[in-house]
Amino acid sequence: MCATLRAPRLVMSAIGTILVLATHAPSAWGKPAADRAYTVANYPVEARAANAVAAKDAAIADGQKAAFRSLLKRIVPVTAYREMERIAATDPAPLIDGVAIRSERNSATEYIASLDFTFQAAEVRELLNRQGVPFVDVQAPATVVIPLTRDAKSAAGPSGEFRPASGTWNTVWPTLDLQNSVSPLKIENAKPEIGADTFRGLYDDSTLAASIMTLAAAYGTDQVVVAIAEVDTEGRRVNVLLAGQDAVGPFALKRAYRLSDGDLAYTLELAAVVSQGILEGRWKAVSSGAVAVAMPAGGAGDEVSFDAQFAGKDEWNAMRRVLLEAPGIDDIRIGTVSGGSASVSLKYPGGGPALARTLAGYGISLTDMGGLWVMRQGP
């Protein structure tokens, strides 16, 4: 029997009505607000087996394990991710409160579905407390997110054009689990009365505050964040600016995502998922007592270039996740990636020495090897 989760493709379109698999369990939207973070919604699964029934059973079993890992990443601060290893062997089946089908299709040997997994909040809290794993499950006030696109060729000058998000950048945001996040999001379109100067001002530290005030007035809330994607075909990357004000405060962060095998749709999906993770991470950092750094977009921070060395794909993905989500890291660019190393450049206040101290808290070492900085997993 072969069972696989439908990843890294992050979304599936709904093709059916919702059916409840565990009829004893309350639906996700029927849960108390305090427990809402314990539902992992719209999770895609896929499995193949000798027959349709076995394939469905395998997909659900593997799906609940993956959904549990997603739940832990949602509520555990990034700085405590290593502590999750203490519960890595936990069987999530007894913690499941219910599973709901958003969509499904199957053949004689294959099952594909999009599922909502609801976990028992009290039991998960007890497990984490018993193992000493810190977590944040109190939701922040909702933040409005405005997805936009910008022409990369004109982005550097005053003629840069901002347009409503289209294609994958438009469709991927509503498919994310926005309601159950510890940092809930509401996707809205750009209002016609907001001019390009307001969006352009988000790129400059000196005009960031004024642009945030304009957005707040237009949307009737202080919590408005703009997600601007620039597709740089020549540079083979997607540049994303995430700027505005969330429940933590004003901020602006730039990220560059390398086009994976020229697959623009996948890269934009990844950028949206990481952007949501950044907003979650900021809220978790403040709620757990850590310091969340709000970096301006105007280039604050010192340039740091280094060689990331890793033993395999899983180790590199773990290191990359920290780089993409850790507060304070700005304007990150990942260059050539080989079998065991990757070239990385970014900006960080205080440069290499300060970055090394921060990464040490995540279990990652950054060492100056005679003028060449090298990043590795572990001390």
| 105 within a domain of the structure (yes/no) | yes
Whether 97 and 185 map to the same domain: the answer is: no
pLDDT computed for residue 308 by the predictor: 92
Q: Please tell me the distance from the alpha carbon of residue 172 to that of residue 379, in angstroms, as a whole number.
A: 37
Residue 244 has a CB neighbour count (10 Å cut-off) of: 25
pLDDT computed for residue 17 by the predictor: 30
Tens of pLDDT, residues 32-78:
667 999 999 999 999 999 999 999 999 999 999 999 999 999 999 88
Name the domain boundary from 260, 287, 314. Answer: 287
| 279 within a domain of the structure (yes/no) | yes
pLDDT computed for residue 288 by the predictor: 77
Alpha helices in the chain (DSSP H): 52-75, 121-131, 167-175, 196-201, 205-219, 264-287, 313-325, 351-360
Tens of pLDDT, residues 254-278:
888 888 677 899 999 999 999 999 9
Residue 319 reports pLDDT greater than 90: no
Number of domains in the chain: 3
DSSP character string of 303-353: EEEEEEE-SSHHHHHHHHHHHHHSTT-EEEEEEEE-SSEEEEEEEETTHHH
Whether 155 and 277 map to the same domain: the answer is: yes
| 297 within a domain of the structure (yes/no) | no
Tokens for 331, please give them: 């304007």
- Average pLDDT for 75-96: 88
Q: Please tell me the distance from the alpha carbon of residue 323 to that of residue 360, in angstroms, as a whole number.
A: 12
Residue 155 reports pLDDT greater than 80: no
| 104 within a domain of the structure (yes/no) | yes
Which amino acid is residue 61, in one-letter code?
A: A
- Which residues span the domain enclosing 363? 302-377
Residue 297 reports pLDDT greater than 70: no
Find out whether 110 and 4 touch, Cβ atoms under 8 Å.
Answer: no
Whether 283 and 306 map to the same domain: the answer is: no
Name the domain boundary from 247, 264, 287. Answer: 287
Residue 14 reports pLDDT greater than 70: no
User: Regarding predicted confidence, which is higher, 286 or 154?
Assistant: 286
**pLDDT band with cut points at 50, 70 and 90 for residue 92:** very high
- Average pLDDT for 331-349: 83
- Average pLDDT for 127-133: 93
Q: Please tell me the distance from the alpha carbon of residue 198 to that of residue 213, in angstroms, as a whole number.
A: 9
User: Regarding predicted confidence, which is higher, 346 or 221?
Assistant: 221
Q: Provide the mean pLDDT of the chain.
A: 84
Tens of pLDDT, residues 164-222:
998 999 999 999 999 999 999 999 999 999 999 999 999 988 999 999 999 999 999 99
- Average pLDDT for 114-133: 95
Handedness of CA 319, 322, 325, 326 (dihedral sign): negative
**pLDDT band with cut points at 50, 70 and 90 for residue 286:** confident
Q: Please tell me the distance from the alpha carbon of residue 116 to that of residue 44, in angstroms, as a whole number.
A: 9
CATH of the domain at 350: 3.30.70
- Average pLDDT for 83-108: 91
Residue 25 reports pLDDT greater than 50: no
Whether 119 and 200 map to the same domain: the answer is: no
Q: Please tell me the distance from the alpha carbon of residue 287 to that of residue 217, in angstroms, as a whole number.
A: 27
- Average pLDDT for 371-375: 87
Phi then psi for residue 94, to 5 deg, are: -70, -15
pLDDT computed for residue 234 by the predictor: 83
pLDDT computed for residue 280 by the predictor: 92
> Which of 337, 331, 326, 374 minimizes the C-alpha distance to 352?
374
**pLDDT band with cut points at 50, 70 and 90 for residue 233:** confident
pLDDT computed for residue 27 by the predictor: 44
pLDDT computed for residue 371 by the predictor: 75
| 108 within a domain of the structure (yes/no) | yes
Chain position carrying tokens 């007035």: 217
User: Regarding predicted confidence, which is higher, 116 or 7?
Assistant: 116
Whether 190 and 127 map to the same domain: the answer is: no
pLDDT computed for residue 138 by the predictor: 93
Q: Please tell me the distance from the alpha carbon of residue 64 to that of residue 199, in angstroms, as a whole number.
A: 40
* pTM of the complete model: 0.74
**pLDDT band with cut points at 50, 70 and 90 for residue 153:** low
Name the domain boundary from 287, 322, 354. Answer: 287
Handedness of CA 175, 71, 323, 138 (dihedral sign): positive
